[in-house]
Amino acid sequence: MSLKPVHLVGCILAVAAMLVVASAEKIPYAQTEIVPPTAEWCAKIEKAAPEKATVAADTRKLLVFSLRTGFDHKVMPHVDRVFEILGKKTGAFETTVTVDIEQLMPENLAKYDVLVLNNNCSVGPRRNLFLDELERNPKYADMTAEQRQAKSDTLEQSMLDFVAGGKGLVVVHGAPTLLNNSPKYTEMVGGAFDYHPPNQEVTVQTVDEDHPLVAAFKGKGPFIHRDEPYCFNGAYEKMAFRPLLSMDVEGLNDPKGRVGELKRYVAWIKPFGEGRVFYCSPSHFPESYESSTMLQFILDGVQYAAGDLKCDDSALPQEPAGKKG
């Protein structure tokens, strides 16, 4: 029995859809309890990491700032290890990890080419990690409130000047909340954290598969993993960045019912002054980093931030407030 043309088209589309799903990279289900990185886990990352950087360049100096005063992302030590392993294996950069805010003072930050902000969640509703630390750390017990505020302002300006002066910034997952209520900081990052639906399976797809920064994903279909589907507001609504990855909001469990209000990007790049910013929301879970695709993507993002991987980082034309059409 022959198929009518309309039925034939339907069959072709169905087969095509199955092929897309089949080619997707699906990360094994993440456990709800995150344990510290083990030697076995680090070996897995070492094996999955790229052999060399995309662009041959001088070895850069990377500072990973891993202090949090608010929500404790248990994946933070895994992120530290990821950058250490990527840098050591490829020779692209040397990694220093710190939780000391003094390392962000201008005279110290100047030693580095790229600053990585690792899940630096602050305490709400104020959302100022620097003030949190200045108030809780006995080292600063003798400071007055005015002195703490001045120190906090200096630390923020130090980061802004570092990037605007030609250096790089990599912002990982929850790090936008470091100074979430600061217009200057969130403008630099590309957005302020709004909320996230419960952690769940999230389908991530490239915005433009031909962009050099998403070469790791090309031809592999969607990237499916378990994550917190981060949603942003504030500066995000201007969408003054080059989006790299978006998440499929269809079918997401969102009790607030707001996830579909805007186009939801989870990774982007943007110039800031003479410098460059790379934001990567994936991921809340260490399993996502076990993917060679994700590791290559992060490495390329670092090379962009360092100024070694040249690419178009101009914003795409957007509808008003990034509303979905």
Per-residue 3-state assignment (H helix, E strand, C coil) for the chain: CCCCHHHHHHHHHHHHHHHHHHHCEECCCCCCCCCCCCHHHHHHHHHHCCCCCCCCCCCEEEEEECCCCCCCCCCHHHHHHHHHHHHHHHCCEEEEEECCHHHHCHHHHCCCCEEEEECCCCCCCCCCHHHHHHHHCHHHCCCCHHHHHHHHHHHHHHHHHHHHCCCEEEEECCHHHHHCCCHHHHHHHCCEEEECCCCEEEEEEECCCCCHHHHHHCCCCCEEEEECCCEEEHHHHHCCCEEEEEECCCCCCCCCCCCCCECCEEEEEEEECCEEEEEECCCCCHHHHHCHHHHHHHHHHHHHHCCCCCCCCCCCCCCHHHECC
Looking at per-residue pLDDT, the higher value among 223 and 1 belongs to 223
Residue 11 lies in a domain: no
> Does some domain include residue 31?
no
The mean pLDDT value for 53-76 works out to 98
Average pLDDT, rounded, for the chain: 92
Which residue segment(s) compose the domain that 68 sits in?
47-322
For residue 149, is it within any domain? yes
Q: What is the pLDDT of residue 113?
A: 99
**pTM for this entry:** 0.91
Q: Does 309 score more than 90 pLDDT?
A: yes
Mean pLDDT of 238-267: 95
Per the structure, how many domains does the chain have? Answer: 1
Within a domain: 142: yes
Residue 319: which pLDDT band, with cuts at 50, 70 and 90? low
Asked if the structure places residue 287 within a domain, the reply is: yes
Residue 305 has pLDDT above 80, yes or no: yes
Inform me whether the pLDDT recorded for 294 exceeds 50.
yes
Q: In this structure, is residue 25 part of a structural domain?
A: no
63 located within any domain: yes
pLDDT band at residue 29 under the 50/70/90 scheme:
confident
Q: What is the CATH number of the domain that holds 300?
A: 3.40.50.880
21, part of any domain: no
Identify the band that residue 33 occupies on the pLDDT scale cut at 50, 70 and 90.
confident
